[in-house]
Structure formats: structure tokens, C-alpha cells
Amino acid sequence: MKRYYLIVKGKVQGVGFRAFTQQKAAQYEVSGHVMNHMDGSVGIEAQGDEQKLERFISAIRTGSPYSSVEEVTTEDKEVLENELSFSIRY
């Protein structure tokens, strides 16, 4: 089990990117959350099985149909034991 904090830069706001992220989290059984940042980037905390998490991050790097991902940075985070779902934060 791993947990990462991702910062996604590019055209990722106003294009359905958070909903896309939530869909991919469900597909790959990843928990955590996604939220827009004031600087135009999107922040994601994602936790799950390491192989599924890598596939999730790969999908995030590719982006949604209307987004244009320019950069994704990742940082290790401490695993949260009781987190069961993935949410969009506002």
C-alpha cells in the first residue's frame, strides 16, 4: 500500500479533469481526493495497491479528453489506514 501527493499542471481546470480523476480512481480502486488549486494546477492525494496506483498515475499523466497535462510531480505521503473512498474537494 502506497500514498502519493500529485500536482498536475497544464490545462486541467474547467475541462472535467477532476471528474475524470475520480472515474480513474474508481477504475483502479484508489482512494483519496482531488482539488483545484488557485494557481491553475490540480492536487491529488491517491492511495492504493502499488501496481494499481502506478496505472492510475499513468492515466493521470495521459489526461482526460479535453485536458492537456504538461507536468505531474509526485511526492510520497503517509498511508491513511481508514480511507475507503475517493472524493472531489471544492
pLDDT of residue 54: 98
Among candidate residues 36, 55, 61, 82, the one labeled active-site is 36
- pLDDT at res. 9: 98
Is 82 noted as a catalytic residue in this protein? no
Cα end-to-end distance, the chain, whole Å:
26
For 48-67, the pLDDT digits (tens) are: 999 999 999 999 999 999 99
Q: Which of helix, strand or coil describes residue 2?
A: strand
Element (H, E) at 31: strand 31-36
Q: Where are the domains of the chain?
A: 2-89
Q: Which residue has the cell 494557481?
A: 39
CATH of 2-89, one of 3.30.70.100, 3.30.360.10, 3.55.10.10, 3.30.210.10: 3.30.70.100
Among the options 18, 55, 61, 82, which is catalytic?
18
Q: How confident is the model at residue 20 (pLDDT cuts 50, 70, 90)?
A: very high
As a whole-number percent, the residues of the chain with pLDDT over 70 amount to 100
Quick one: pLDDT at residue 73? Answer: 98
Average pLDDT value over all residues in the chain: 97
Q: Specify whether the backbone of 26 is left (phi greater than 0), alpha (psi in -120 to 50) or beta.
A: alpha
18 is catalytic: yes
